[in-house]
Amino acid sequence: NAGVTQTPKFRVLKTGQSMTLLCAQDMNHEYMYWYRQDPGMGLRLIHYSVGEGTTAKGEVPDGYNVSRLKKQNFLLGLESAAPSQTSVYFCASRDLQGSSYNEQFFGPGTRLTVL
């Protein structure tokens, strides 16, 4: 049971380049989330999904797109990267059953630098 995994762990982009961050979970969770973490600002929600085929905007969605074609995967895309998107990105999934009800499980993070 790997939990939540993220690919890649590190990436450096030039302004205007595009990329996709992959999040995968093997816990059969319905809900999945993408956050960005910036110094002194905690975690801010970018987009989230409450099930396969559904996505919704979070607090800071501009410049990002997401897709949830399979229940276990949640992709975050940057179509045209900007320096303001330099951040650490965390994916999380939420358990809606059992002893870990409503707990979020986080991936290890992706550190993205946009030059």
Partner 1 sequence: AQSVSQHNHHVILSEAASLELGCNYSYGGTVNLFWYVQYPGQHLQLLLKYFSGDPLVKGIKGFEAEFIKSKFSFNLRKPSVQWSDTAEYFCAVNAVTNAGKSTFGDGTTLTVKP
Q: How far is the CB of 66 from partner 1 (least distance, A)?
A: 14
- Residue 98 interacting with partner 1 (CB under 8 A): no
Sequence-separated contacts (24+) of 54-59 with Cβ below 8 Å: 58/33, 58/34
- Residue 40 interacting with partner 1 (CB under 8 A): yes
Q: Nearer to partner 1 by C-beta: 49 or 85?
A: 49
Q: Nearer to partner 1 by C-beta: 19 or 45?
A: 45
Q: Is 73 within 8 Å of 79 (Cβ atoms)?
A: no
Q: Is 105 within 8 Å of 96 (Cβ atoms)?
A: no
Q: How far is the CB of 83 from partner 1 (least distance, A)?
A: 22
Per-residue contact string for residues 6-35; x = within reach of partner 1 by CB under 8 A: -------------------------x-x-x
Q: Where are the beta strands (DSSP E) in the chain?
A: 4-7, 10-13, 19-25, 31-37, 43-49, 56-57, 64-67, 73-78, 87-94, 104-106, 110-114
Binding positions for partner 1, rule: CB under 8 A: 31, 33, 35, 40-45, 48, 50, 56, 58, 90, 92, 94, 96, 101-104, 106-109
